[in-house]
Amino acid sequence: MTAHDTPPPGAASRPAAAAHWLGVACGGHRFLVPLAQSGEIAAPSPVQALPHAKAWVRGVTTLRGELYTVVDLLGWLGWPPLADEAQSQAHFVSLSTHLGVNVVWPVDRLLGLRTAEALFPAPEPLPSPVVRQVLADEQDNVWYDLDLLALCERPDFLDIHERPATAGSP
């Protein structure tokens, strides 16, 4: 070990901060995806449209030979994109298989692993029941901590079929 390899004083006694989330950007919004609830990151593959699906369902694709539903999470949340990059689909992020649904979410950018120590509560209300908390970083970027388990338990997320209006219904 040379003098250049010597850690700074006290560095050996400081534990490394454990990552809690994968940070992603979608439509200009920043999201925190819990590592325990996220699956694979993959390059986008062709998406086949689904007839009679809700507007936030982009279609289906294959990932490692399995069929996955491709969802527009911003569309499901009812949030408008904040940036033109909303349709870029640079990466697919799958939900963990232990959540019981084969779903991928197209995101614009991967923003790396994030730790709780690098974020603090933001003074914003919770914008959705699937957002656990709203956080900010030192650059005042707002981050939405997603609860993908809560998302996967919601009937309005699990039901992707658009039903036509029946006669006599408003």
Question: Distance between CA atoms of 168 and 82, rounded to whole angstroms?
Answer: 39
Q: Does residue 9 lie in a domain region?
A: no
Q: What is the reported pTM?
A: 0.83
Find the CATH number of the domain harbouring 97.
Answer: 2.40.50.180
78-to-28, 112, 128, 162 alpha-carbon distances in Å = 14, 25, 10, 16
How many domains is the chain built from? 1
pLDDT per residue as tens digits for the range 81-129: 886 654 567 899 999 999 999 999 999 999 999 999 999 999 999 999 9
42-to-23, 31, 95, 103, 105 alpha-carbon distances in Å = 15, 17, 12, 12, 10
Q: Which amino acid is at 161?
A: H
Residue numbers of the domain that contains 80 = 20-158
Q: Does residue 34 lie in a domain region?
A: yes
